[in-house]
């Protein structure tokens, strides 16, 4: 990997993780790791351009159908692709189909950029996700294989101890906090070959006393009422949180967004 490379453009492809939930800005929009990464890259390269095609709730098939060809046609230097995790969290998931679609996406994107970036997504600790962990790890094995075959780089967020800490996850337990997104941006930055700004991004947070039983139960009730039950309702009715929602930044345009 070239050290401190010069890239002039970035296109981000994916779901809510790449859209930036839950790194909420005062105006109600989301920032997230991809915006932070783009801002850093833009600070080094005048005229740097950035597009973010990610939409919350998208499955890998929807990402392939709605985002991949668009991203390939933009001709960016760097394309990031993160997808498939939403599929693994569905009660019924055909991992063979997920692998096939992810392979199709990589084969269409890799020839149309200078550097394709894939990720082993972060996974927080907790009993709920344990039942899905074998699927997640099968997805990550596929990602590693595709990267080796197509010259992509892999950002290993799954193996980062810090990102397993519940304190870096929002109350919905599915999306990272602003600090979590900052650490992801740093991880991608370093994987692309830039000099580290935070060499210890992966280091766990300082140990803290866990909240008491009453506070944990109150947090569980809030999570169930505000996030889990609506999520189950969407699954039962075949709806998605991203239905009808356009990409946050569909065109490859000069970027001068916030650095943090």
Tell me the per-residue pLDDT of 50-100, one tens digit each, with 9 for 90 and over. 999 999 999 999 999 999 999 999 999 999 999 999 999 888 899 999 999
Nearest CA to 22 among 208, 174, 232? Answer: 174
Quote the distance between the C-alpha of residue 106 and its chain's center: 16
Phi-psi region of 140 (alpha: psi -120 to 50; beta: other; left: phi over 0): alpha
DSSP of 148-205: HHHT-EEEE-TT-GGGG-GGGB-TTSSSB-HHHHHHHHHHHHHHTTPPPS-TTTTSPP
Q: Quick count: other Cβ atoms within 10 Å of Cβ 225?
A: 10
The full set of domain ranges for the chain reads: 9-254
Any residues with CB less than 8 A from the CB of 224 and at least 6 apart, and which?
Answer: none
Average pLDDT over residues 152-164: 94
List 51's β-bridge partners, or say none. 11
Give the position of tokens 């939930």. Answer: 21
- Residue 7, classed as helix, strand or coil, is coil
pLDDT band at 128 (very low <50, low <70, confident <90, very high): low
What 8-state DSSP symbol labels residue 9?
A: E
What is the CB neighbour count within 10 angstroms for residue 118?
Answer: 26
- CA–CA distance, 142 with 118 (Å, rounded to integer): 11
Q: What is the pTM of this model?
A: 0.87
Return mean pLDDT, the chain.
Answer: 88
- Higher-pLDDT residue of 3, 241: 3
In terms of CATH architecture, what is 9-254?
A: 3-Layer(aba) Sandwich (3.40)
Q: Is the pLDDT of residue 242 over 70?
A: no
Q: Is the pLDDT of residue 234 over 60?
A: no
Q: Two tokens at 88?
A: 């693994």
Strand partners, 120: 156
């Amino acid at each position: 990997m070239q050290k401190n490379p010069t890239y002039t453009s970035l296109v981000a492809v994916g779901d809510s993780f790449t859209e930036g939930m839950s790194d909420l800005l005062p105006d109600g929009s989301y920032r997230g790791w991809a915006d932070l990464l783009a801002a850093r890259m833009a600070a080094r390269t005048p005229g740097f351009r950035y597009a973010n095609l990610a939409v919350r709730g998208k499955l890998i098939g929807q990402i392939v159908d709605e985002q991949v060809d668009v991203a390939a046609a933009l001709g960016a230097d760097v394309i990031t692709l993160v997808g498939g995790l939403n599929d693994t969290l569905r009660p019924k998931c055909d991992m063979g189909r997920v692998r096939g679609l992810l392979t199709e996406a990589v084969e269409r994107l890799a020839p149309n950029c200078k550097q394709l970036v894939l990720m082993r997504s972060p996974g927080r600790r907790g009993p709920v996700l344990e039942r899905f962990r074998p699927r997640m790890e099968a997805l990550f094995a596929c990602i590693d294989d595709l990267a080796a075959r197509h010259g992509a780089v892999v950002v290993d967020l799954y193996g980062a101890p810090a990102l397993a800490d519940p304190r870096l996850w929002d109350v919905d337990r599915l999306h990272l906090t602003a600090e979590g997104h900052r650490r992801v941006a740093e991880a991608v930055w370093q994987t692309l070959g830039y000099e580290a700004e935070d060499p210890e991004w992966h280091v766990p947070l300082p140990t803290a006393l866990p909240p008491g039983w009453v506070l944990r139960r109150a947090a569980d009730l809030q999570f169930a009422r505000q996030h889990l039950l609506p999520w189950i309702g969407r699954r039962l009715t075949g709806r998605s949180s991203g239905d009808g929602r356009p990409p946050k930044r569909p065109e490859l345009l000069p970027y001068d967004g916030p650095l943090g």
